[in-house]
Chain A
């Protein structure tokens, strides 16, 4: 297949054509742009989740704007905030009620690994309780990081990858440091 030449062009009026694809690729493509979400919000990260979901950052652009407040109708479980040991059975039960296919995003450091809580009360990362697809570190993560995490999940759905992934720091583009420094100098004046 490597030497087959592909041509992509927009069909003009009066022309006709067809596309070929695999069924599972089509299904994954449809799934990744219509994610119904269940926000399991427990702590301060919830404020940042609201910022990410509200019009300024606009999760709706990614087809993930519909929150379902029943796990039975949801595709993505957003675990937003610290999960205590006492709460773990509830989280487990919510996850079990979701229908396949289902994905889990750990929002923030506490949900991902327990954060700075290392004690009797806190679950050290929700992957101890439910399988996690994407972990978004940050205390709280910026909305840009959340969008990065969502796009990472969409990519994983597209290729059918279920291994847990941690969102890495995004590199600033070349010249960004000088630009930020100039902005800082302007503000100091």
Chain B
């Protein structure tokens, strides 16, 4: 794949394009938070890019809660994948937002398809998309506290909507010998053998 899109982006936005690379045949560009909306609009409308088909938008939590500061400046990496039906090329546009204040301009006015994807990124990571027409949870329920795919959300913390019944089986329950797999990350193999 040619680097056409990356060259066009760099020519247009200069220093606002932080990194460029190519992975698996697709162009990847990391832009500053300020250039996010403009770069998206550019790759959609520029005649040589013309990425009119919105593929995906999501987020990555890049921090390690044991090591990093949760408020670090480049904690969340939001990416959007767009495809050109005319030129048959695909581009990945990324930007990074801080953990302290994860806000980003919405792309729903560029691609209408970004609506639900931004809601998902908000639901799972808590990135707020400014200007989004209907920014509320899409997968989790309204009573849910926090954002489950953040690295600092406890991996096995559930927030039941229905109170659990008394006297039920433990999660490990009766399945150990038959199923032969550890079903709880807090229990080691030796503990499980002892129970039976």
Contacts and interface: CB of A to CB of B under 8 A. Distances in A.
Interface of A: 85-86, 88-89, 92, 109, 112-116, 118-125, 127-131, 135, 137, 139, 164, 166, 168-169
Contacts of A169: 178
B165 A127 contact: yes
Given A86-B141, A124-B171, A129 B158 contact: no
B161 to A, nearest CB: 5
A118 B184 contact: yes
Nearest to B155: A119
A171 to B, nearest CB: 12
A139 B179 CA distance: 9
B164 A112 contact: no
B47 interface: no
Nearest to A169: B178
Interface of B: 139-141, 144, 148, 153, 155-162, 164-165, 168-169, 171-175, 178-179, 181, 183-185
A120 B153 contact: yes
Given A128-B165, A129-B165, A137 B175 contact: yes
B156 A86 contact: no
B174 A166 contact: yes
Contacts of B171: 113-114, 118, 124-125
B148 A85 contact: no
Contacts of A131: 165
B169 A164 contact: yes
A127 B174 CA distance: 13
Given A116-B181, A120-B157, A128-B168, 6 more contacts: A113-B174, A121-B158, A128-B165, A135-B174, A166-B173, A166-B175
Nearest to B186: A118
Given A113-B169, A125-B168, A128-B164, A137 B159 contact: no
Contacts of A113: 169, 171-175, 183
A116 B182 CA distance: 8
A134 B57 CA distance: 43
Given A86-B140, A118-B171, A137 B179 contact: yes
Contacts of A166: 173-175
A118 B169 contact: no
Contacts of A88: 160-162
B116 to A, nearest CB: 17
A118 B185 contact: yes
B32 to A, nearest CB: 32
